[in-house]
Amino acid sequence: KAGVTQTPRYLIKTRGQQVTLSCSPISGHRSVSWYQQTPGQGLQFLFEYFSETQRNKGNFPGRFSGRQFSNSRSEMNVSTLELGDSALYLCASTPRGGGGATDTQYFGPGTRLTVL
């Protein structure tokens, strides 16, 4: 089975712009979670989607949003970019979502976003 894929792998934007990142989960997985990784804050949970519904959201401003499509692919959007948004954005997929707390999350390679 193919793993989790994320596109693009690298992205450079300037402050004030917006960006959309894409994640394709492992085939058959219905849940996608997004994480932000920075040297200072480590790995922080952004949100989780299951069956096109946002199930849970981390403590991030409303500039961060996401959605999930019927084929389980997910996108996250960051509007009005700030320098502090520079990070590695990781998505992970699991088969069952919130009801499967024991499920392993499988991570993609990430999108490295640099905001200038």
Partner 1 sequence: AQSVAQPEDQVNVAEGNPLTVKCTYSVSGNPYLFWYVQYPNRGLQFLLKYITGDNLVKGSYGFEAEFNKSQTSFHLKKPSALVSDSALYFCVLRGAGSYQLTFGKGTKLSVIP
Query: Given the rule CB under 8 A, which residues bind partner 1?
Result: 4, 6, 33, 35, 42-45, 48, 55-56, 58, 88, 90, 92, 97-98, 101-102, 104-110, 112
Residue 8 CB, shortest distance to partner 1, in Å, is 14
Q: Tokens at residue 82, please?
A: 């700030």
As a whole number of angstroms, the distance between CA 38 and CA 26 comes to 25
Give least dist CB 51 to partner 1, A. 14
Which amino acid, residue 4? V
Q: Give whichever of 38 and 71 is closer to partner 1, judged by the CB atom.
A: 38
Q: How far is the CB of 41 from partner 1 (least distance, A)?
A: 9
Using DSSP's 3-state secondary structure scheme, residue 84 falls into helix
> How far is 74 from 35, CA to CA, in rounded Å?
13
